Structure 1
Amino acid sequence: MTVRVMVVDDHPMWRDGVARDLTDEGFEVVATADGVRAATARAAAVQPDVVLMDMQMPDGSGAQATSELLAVCPGARVLVLSASDERDDVLDAVKAGATGYLVKSAHRDELVAAVRATAEGQAVFTPGLAGLVLGEYRRIARDPGPDTPVLTDRETQVLREVAKGLSSKQIAARLSISPRTVENHVGATLRKLQLANRVELARYAIEHGLDDD
């Protein structure tokens, strides 16, 4: 099935170049947009599978655009493609609902692979960026609130691997357990965290720094 992609960026040459590269790789670029309002309106109309989202736009931030876009297009997955690698930008994007975050220095092959992985529901991050939020998880772990869910050590291990985008089979091999056991831990963790699926689970793990070894 062809992956339908929307590219959101306020720089025409960059936006058109990315759209052209993705088209050449077999993706269907169904829309482009240069701001928050345009992105929301066009996503509602075309319902893309993956949205490549810049973080800085004339009428708002990429985090704002991500949140508003997912409200009208809940089936989309947002992959941020930004010049910024600041911790706050990464956190803001994840909290708004982005599945992954790449910096614009990524090579074309990395971008193409990231879009494919995002379409498959994996959490994709430029190496090192997800680790920026590890301190936030450690803060939460030291001073948990009354509503902070408690995960077992094994659930935390599995969650770390989910955050890296690994399949149940790959996680099972790493942890020397069966794929069915992995799925059982994933299901238990989803229920504890009141999340709907692995994408949301990976997003939670990234946000709380659990992807870091």
Structure 2
Amino acid sequence: MTEPVRVVIVDDHPIWREALERDLVADGFDVRGAFAEAEAAVRTAPAIRPDVVLMDLQLPGMSGVDAAAALVAIDPSVRVLMFSASGEDDDVLAAVKGGARGYLIKSASKAELLNAVHRTAAGEAIFSPGLAALVLGEYRRIGRDEPDPTAVLTDRETEILRKVSTGMSAKQIAEVLGVSHRTVQNHIQNTLTKLQLHNRVELTRWAIDQGLSD
């Protein structure tokens, strides 16, 4: 029997938080925690190991963007789905650059939300209509116009990408960096998702084209 997807909710509005938890549990998700502040989610994440974190953007204390970055740094396999009332371009791009796998506007229906969480858990990058084109366009703009084409990547993702471009395997990279094979694989998958690439061949070609080969 397949284990249910483990979800953590972070939203400072009690009504939203309770409704989300109720809907997710009713749909078969394993809600491991529902927090009003991001710090609590980041602090408990290593123990409860969520598959998906459903994160509000504007939070008291640590922001949703900073929390996403912190969660991904702790465990690169965690998938943060931003769930916010804001559809502003800057907010969306900041969230994705911070480590969010997707971005859903709070005007989404319950069915759309549940579907988005399922698909995020499966590794897809989910965005409300119109936002995916915005994110992809920004990646392309950065790759074409900016001096640093890896601006959307974390330092660790860039470090691993440089080694991938030389032909090193995930196992070899893990040994060099002193991390687990799984951690390296998760970083590679995150990078593929951010750059809208499909496999290591495309990733290696992209890195070489950008002059990232060690």
TM-score (norm 2): 0.69
Of residues 115, 128, 135, the one that matches 1:126 is 128
Following superposition, the deviation at residue 73 of structure 1 comes to 3.2
Residue 203 (structure 1) aligns with: 194
Partner of 1:60: helix, strand, or coil?
coil
Q: How do 1:17-32 and structure 2 match up within 5 A? A: 17-32=19-34
The answer to whether the Cα contact below 8 Å between 1:7 and 1:53 also exists between their aligned partners in 2 is yes
Residue 101 (structure 2) aligns with: 99
Residue 34 (structure 1) aligns with: 36
Residue 13 (structure 1) aligns with: 15
The answer to whether the Cα contact below 8 Å between 2:103 and 2:127 also exists between their aligned partners in 1 is yes
Q: Which structure 1 residue ranges, 5 or more long, are not aligned?
A: 150-189, 207-213
The CA distance in 2 between the partners of 1:36 and 1:142, in whole Å, is: 35
Partner of 1:75: helix, strand, or coil?
coil
The answer to whether the Cα contact below 8 Å between 1:122 and 1:199 also exists between their aligned partners in 2 is no
Following superposition, the deviation at residue 44 of structure 1 comes to 2.4
Partner of 1:56: helix, strand, or coil?
coil
What code does the residue aligned with 1:53 have? Answer: M
Q: How do 1:111-150 and structure 2 match up within 5 A? A: 111-143=113-145, 145=147, 148=149
Q: Deviation string for 1:109-133 (max 9, x for gaps)?
A: 1111111111111111111012224
CA pair 130-73 structure 1, distance change in 2 beyond 3 A: same
Number of aligned pairs? 166
CA pair 109-72 structure 1, distance change in 2 beyond 3 A: same
Q: Which moved more, 1:33-42 or 1:126-135?
A: 126-135
Q: Which moved more, 1:35-44 or 1:10-19?
A: 35-44
Of residues 72, 89, 92, the one that matches 1:90 is 92
Following superposition, the deviation at residue 81 of structure 1 comes to 0.5
CA pair 24-204 structure 1, distance change in 2 beyond 3 A: same
What's the C-alpha RMSD, in Å, of the aligned pairs? 2.7
The CA distance in 2 between the partners of 1:148 and 1:86, in whole Å, is: 23
Q: Deviation string for 1:34-66 (max 9, x for gaps)?
A: 112111112122111110000000103110011
CA pair 124-133 structure 1, distance change in 2 beyond 3 A: closer
Following superposition, the deviation at residue 134 of structure 1 comes to 5.0
The CA distance in 1 between the partners of 2:107 and 2:165, in whole Å, is: 37
The CA distance in 1 between the partners of 2:95 and 2:191, in whole Å, is: 13
Of residues 75, 78, 81, the one that matches 2:80 is 78
Q: Which structure 2 residue ranges, 5 or more long, are not aligned?
A: 151-162, 167-183, 198-214
Following superposition, the deviation at residue 191 of structure 1 comes to 4.2
Identical positions, percent: 50
Following superposition, the deviation at residue 100 of structure 1 comes to 0.5
Q: Deviation string for 1:159-212 (max 9, x for gaps)?
A: xxxxxxxxxxxxxxxxxxxxxxxxxxxxxxx94599844443122239xxxxxx
Partner of 2:196: helix, strand, or coil?
helix
TM-score (norm 1): 0.69
CA pair 191-39 structure 1, distance change in 2 beyond 3 A: same
Residue 50 (structure 1) aligns with: 52
The CA distance in 2 between the partners of 1:71 and 1:125, in whole Å, is: 22
Partner of 1:6: helix, strand, or coil?
strand
The CA distance in 2 between the partners of 1:43 and 1:5, in whole Å, is: 10
Query: Which of 1 and 2 has higher RCO (CA within 8 Å, sep 6+)?
Result: 1
